[in-house]
């Protein structure tokens, strides 16, 4: 998976489709780790996913995936600082509070 790919379908551990998390005209930051200290704008919703399928996502233990409203991947990576930089340079400025 890489930026520009369509976010793949898979089932969550409870049997629901992952697309059940992606509702509304928002960007979704999906991660195995939620960054509560980031002051994200309202158009980005954070969702924690406990387990990502390793056959789809190589780095499933620590990964950040920014999904656009059209369900395409805008960003995918494992480094929170790299994600911060991406968000700041492409979408908005993250406050350091």
pLDDT tens-digit series, residues 36-52 = 667 788 888 888 887 77
Q: What is the pLDDT at residue 57?
A: 75
Distance (Å, rounded) from C-alpha 50 to C-alpha 57? 13
Q: What is the pLDDT of residue 92?
A: 64
Terminal alpha carbon distance of the chain: 32
- Average pLDDT for the chain: 83
Contacts of 22 (CB under 8 A, 6+ apart): 7, 28, 67, 71
Q: Which of 37, 36, 65, 38 is nearest to 49 (CA)?
A: 65
**pLDDT tens column, 60-76:** 567 889 999 999 999 99
Using DSSP's 3-state secondary structure scheme, residue 34 falls into coil
Amino acid 8: pLDDT: 92
Average pLDDT over residues 80-90: 84
Protein fold of 18-90: Glutaredoxin (3.40.30)
């Amino acid at each position: 998976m890489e930026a520009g790919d369509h976010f793949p379908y898979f089932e969550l551990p409870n049997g629901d489709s992952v697309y059940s998390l992606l509702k509304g005209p928002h960007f979704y930051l999906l991660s195995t780790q939620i960054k509560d200290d980031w002051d994200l704008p309202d158009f980005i919703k954070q969702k924690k996913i406990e387990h990502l399928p390793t056959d789809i996502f190589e780095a499933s233990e620590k990964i950040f995936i920014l999904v656009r409203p059209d369900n395409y991947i805008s960003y995918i990576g494992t480094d929170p600082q790299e994600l911060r930089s991406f968000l700041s340079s492409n979408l908005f400025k993250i406050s350091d509070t």
